Structure 1
Amino acid sequence: MGMSVTISAADTQDAEQIFKLRYLCFQSEAELYGNYRIDPLVQTLDSVRAELGADLVFVARLGDEVVGSVHGFTDPDGTGRIGKLCVHPRLQGHGLGARLLRAAESGLTDGRAATRFRIHTGHRSEGNLRLYRREGYARVGDATGQDGVRMILLEKDAAAPAYVVSA
């Protein structure tokens, strides 16, 4: 009998699992850019704990194991910023990333009054870009991260539908 993956708000006891999961998941991004100084790889356990105390963090659980996570907060201008979306490599390709993204969007509109969402990913991260486009995000610009990686900035109106059909 298999277990199903559940999505829920993270709590303080999840900090270490989230920390380790991000480190595992973002290795492929670091390899893609030849840069092992990207934020999720240099983040400390204490900074993950701080996120859990201040921001919105959702996790995907398979039993007691955290197999996915996403982080979000709302800026004073009403922009819900979503980031550090990751799914354990063995469970990628099963829709968990989209489920986590939608959970973050829902949490940022319900309790945190976001009127639009912004997310970013590296310019070579085609899988991420496909997911965000499929979920209704559109490119609004580029930026260079502190780690030197060129990032694609994408936004979506909070009232936009979750699914975009393309011809």
Structure 2
Amino acid sequence: MGMSVIIAAARPEEAEQILKLQYLGYQSEAELYGDWGLEPLTQTLESLKAEMADHRVLVARLGDEVVGSARGWVDGNGTGQIGRLVVHPRMQRHGLGRRLLEALEAGLAEDGASSFELFTGHRSLGNLRLYRRLGYRETEVREVSRRLSIVTLAKTGATTLAA
């Protein structure tokens, strides 16, 4: 039998693994939009460590390997801001993104969030499908460039799908 993937709070010593995973996971987004300057691809280890200090950061672990990650925080309006949901390409299409997002929502709800907000690019159809399936609805589309529009999605309450 294989190992199970565990969702847990990220440990400070996992920052480098998270950054490498983020870089790997966002390659397809950069290719999709023809933009290799996407912030997830240019983030430094120091800025990730700073985020880890004041955001809720979750990882999906397969043994000692970080194969997924997501992070978020509760803003001044009580909205859980969710970002950087990434799953290792070989682990995609197995429900890991859903599990990470649901766990992050639950944690942010514990921190006081009553609604949630996230964003993705307009061509990221897999992301949009996942978010809509989990109850997110489009609230805004903002054109960033001729190649990229950012789609903001929001929902009230945490996901209650069975695991």
TM-score range with shorter-chain normalisation?
over 0.9
Corresponding position: 1:138 with 2:148: no
Seen in structure 2, the aligned counterparts of structure 1 residues 49 and 144 have a Cα distance that, compared at 3 Å, is: farther
Which residue type is aligned with residue 132 of structure 1?
Answer: Y
The residue correspondences of 1:67-146 to structure 2 (distance < 5 A) are 67-110=67-110, 112-144=111-143
Q: Please list every run of 5 or more consecutive structure 1 residues that lacks an aligned counterpart in the other structure.
A: none
Task: Give the whole-Å Cα distance in 2 for the aligned partners of 1:71 and 1:2.
Answer: 27
* CA distances 1:45-101 after superposition (whole Å, capped 9, x unpaired): 011111111100000000000000001011101110001000000000000000000
Q: Secondary structure at the match of 2:135?
A: coil
CA-CA distance at 1:158 after TM superposition: 1.8
Structure 1 contact 78–114 (Cα < 8 Å) conserved: yes
CA-CA distance at 1:142 after TM superposition: 1.3
Structure 1 contact 3–63 (Cα < 8 Å) conserved: yes
Task: Give the whole-Å Cα distance in 1 for the aligned partners of 2:157 and 2:40.
Answer: 26
Instruction: Give the 4+ runs in structure 1 shifted more than 6 A.
Output: none
Task: Give the whole-Å Cα distance in 2 for the aligned partners of 1:126 and 1:82.
Answer: 18
Q: Please list every run of 5 or more consecutive structure 2 residues that lacks an aligned counterpart in the other structure.
A: none
Counterpart of 1:5? 5
Q: Secondary structure at the match of 1:16?
A: helix
Seen in structure 2, the aligned counterparts of structure 1 residues 10 and 150 have a Cα distance that, compared at 3 Å, is: same
Which residue type is aligned with residue 105 of structure 2?
Answer: E
Counterpart of 2:23? 23
Q: Secondary structure at the match of 1:60?
A: strand
Structure 1 contact 15–48 (Cα < 8 Å) conserved: yes
TM-score (norm 2): 0.94
Q: Secondary structure at the match of 2:3?
A: coil
TM-score (norm 1): 0.92
Provide the aligned length of Structure 1 versus Structure 2.
Answer: 160
Structure 1 contact 57–69 (Cα < 8 Å) conserved: yes
Aligned pair partner of 2:160 in 151, 159, 162? 162
* CA distances 1:7-34 after superposition (whole Å, capped 9, x unpaired): 0000101100000000000000000000
Structure 1 contact 136–162 (Cα < 8 Å) conserved: no
> RMSD across aligned C-alpha pairs, in angstroms?
1.4
CA-CA distance at 1:133 after TM superposition: 0.4
CA-CA distance at 1:144 after TM superposition: 4.1
